[in-house]
Structure 1
Amino acid sequence: MTREPAPRAPLSRERVLRAAVALADATGIDALSMRRLAQELGVVPMALYKHVANKDELLDGMVDCVLGEIGPAVPGPDWRSAVRARILAARSALLGHPWASQVIQSRPAPTPALLGYTDSVIGLFRTGGFSVDLTHHAMHALGSRMLGFTQELFDVSPGASPADPAVLRAMAAHYPYVAELATAGAHDEKSVVGPGCDDQFEFEFALDLLLDGLEGLRQRGWSSAGQRLTPRG
């Protein structure tokens, strides 16, 4: 007796988006296309357009899927611990999808999930005693770090590794302080900051510096009104 194949799950917007996220995780965002996604789902490409109008809407939905993994904000004993936990939760979600930061930065307008996440971080500052003015500058200072990623000065570039002794000797003759810094620190070959750096440690180190500095400004009742330089005539 021939067993009938199990019925295929009906196509839905959620199924399309989750399949697109999985495909981007497996092959990279550049390999993602509506045709490739349709093949993955076992449907004709036109079937996808009943659930996403175009590639841009697909990408927006994928961003919201990833940001949905962050979960709701969890109030902490103080604003600093709550904001820190929120940002590190975002970092954990985005690290699971290496393409996501690139796509988030490419979107012409924030998606609903991005707006919701941003609103939650702003809310933690405001309910933590920050003025609207200081919150505004805090969000500028955090920049993309609010979502758990940042572009660093020491980007990885093709060619010989900076840790190569011959490279370091040549570098030290002309750039002694760069060479000195290149030999210091913990090693993490998979770091997005660069070989020789512990990516997670460096991220948390910079985040803590910002949060500590913001707490000092909050305690002093800092306002940007008294900090602006008078334009020279």
Structure 2
Amino acid sequence: MNQSADGTRRAPLSRERVLRAAVAFADGAGTDAISMRKLAQELGVVPMALYKHVANKDELLDGMVDLVVGEIGPPGAGEWRLTMRAHILAARRVLLRHPWAAGVIQSRTSPTPAVLGHLDSMARLFRTGGFSVALTHHAMHAMGSRLLGFSQELFDDTAADPDPALLQQLARAYPHIAELAGAVGHDAASTVGNCDDQAEFEFALDLLLDGLDRLRAAEGLGHGT
């Protein structure tokens, strides 16, 4: 083991140690704050030592994504819909622990090995659950980023309750958006119920899974199975 300047012994530098330190750094400060210099300071090494394990920041981010996705683990066994739902919600719990990860996953130009492995496990759940190749393809597209535990929203309605004067201005130009903004609230009195990210995620997930199950059943009947 290596020895630090204060005489304490530390684990030798490795790719996994670099990535774990980077994930911990991003959990606290976000990925924009990460640099090879700052990460080297966290690890108590010179910046050049990092380049033996990661070539650049892009490779560092790819490795961080793989480390986080690896925390999800393999899907369980059982009926396809319940297993799929539980696995997606497990992925969501992991990504909520690492709030920067969804943005980094979206920013990658190609999927990392761990992301590909995760998506492959989801495709396997569809196929072993009775989905054809064609319906599995459609299902993967329909589920989109939810397969990895997050969703890409068109607008954010989780902020504080809107100012009535602003709603009046909004209504003149965008009446239907204003109607939605006025209906959504953060208390029991709101028209559409309490606005909650987790509830909205599960609502959309259940809607998609129910629809896919109906298509799977109809496809089976159409093939005489």
TM-score by length of 2: 0.85
1:89-138 alpha-carbon deviations (Å, 9 max, x no partner): 11111111111111112222211111110111001000000000100000
Give 1:171's aligned amino acid. Answer: L
Partner of 2:109 in structure 1?
108
Match of 1:15?
Answer: 17
Specify the alignment match of 2:213 in structure 1: 215
Please report the TM-score for the alignment, with normalisation by the length of structure 1: 0.83
**Counterparts of 1:36-185 in structure 2 under 5 Å?**
36-76=38-78, 78-155=79-156, 163-185=162-184
What SS is found at the alignment partner of 1:51? coil
Q: Could you report, residue by residue, the CA deviation over 1:30-84 in whole angstroms, capped at 9, with x for unpaired residues?
A: 11111110011110011111111222221111001110111111113x1111111
Q: Distance in 2 between matches of 1:186 and 1:85?
A: 28
Amino acid at match of 1:89: A
8 Å CA contact retained: 2:157, 2:195: no
Looking at secondary structure, tell me which structure has more helix per residue. Answer: 2
The 1-side partners of 2:157 and 2:33 are apart by: 23
Distance (Å, rounded) in 1 between the aligned partners of 2:152 and 2:106: 12
8 Å Cα contact 2:76/2:83 also seen in 1? yes
**Alignment length, in residue pairs?**
210
Opposite residue 168 of structure 1, the aligned amino acid is L
Aligned to 1:187: 186
2:8 to 6, 10, 15: 6
Offset of 1:213 from its aligned partner? Answer: 0.5
2:191 maps to which residue? none
Range that drifts further, 21-30 or 104-113 = 104-113
Identity of counterpart residues, as a percentage?
A: 71
CA 1:197/1:156 → structure 2, altered by over 3 Å: closer, same or farther?
closer
Distance 1:58 1:171 in 2: 43
Supply the AA of the counterpart residue of 1:207: L
SS of structure 1 residue aligned to 2:219: coil
Matched residue, 1:201 = 199
Listed as ranges, the gaps of 5+ residues in structure 1 are: 189-195, 223-233
